[in-house]
């Protein structure tokens, strides 16, 4: 009886614990903001991480990381925004 109660209580909690990949959307200044770049990255192997730094329209430093896909497209995997000190 106790295992059944534990299952009934923990089942919905475990069902809520799904791993989802958050898809970051490009922002102005991102390499892929207007779609994939026309220049294909032929020298770097797939799986290579590509860092990118820019300043957004609010003056924040933005650090993005891309991964080169097997078809040579870029996938945005992380973004960190930092406010500049005055």
Q: Give tens-digit pLDDT for 69-81.
A: 999 999 999 999 9
Domain of 30, in residue numbers: 26-86
Prediction pTM value: 0.68
Say if CB 26 and CB 20 are below 8 A apart: no
Q: Judge whether 16 lies within some domain.
A: no
Cα–Cα distance between 86 and 52 in angstroms, integer?
23
pLDDT in tens, 7-66: 556 555 555 554 445 588 999 999 999 999 888 788 899 999 999 999 999 999 999 999
- Structurally, how many domains does the chain consist of? 1
Q: Judge whether 59 lies within some domain.
A: yes
Cα–Cα distance between 18 and 1 in angstroms, integer?
27
């Amino acid at each position: 009886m106790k295992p059944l109660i534990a299952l009934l209580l923990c089942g919905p909690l475990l069902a809520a614990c799904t791993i989802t990949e958050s898809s970051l959307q490009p922002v102005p200044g991102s390499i892929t903001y207007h779609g994939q770049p026309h220049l294909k990255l032929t020298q770097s192997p797939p799986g290579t991480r590509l860092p990118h730094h820019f300043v957004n329209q609010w003056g924040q430093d933005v650090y993005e990381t891309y991964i080169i896909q097997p078809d040579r497209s870029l996938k945005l995997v992380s973004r960190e925004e930092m406010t500049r000190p005055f």
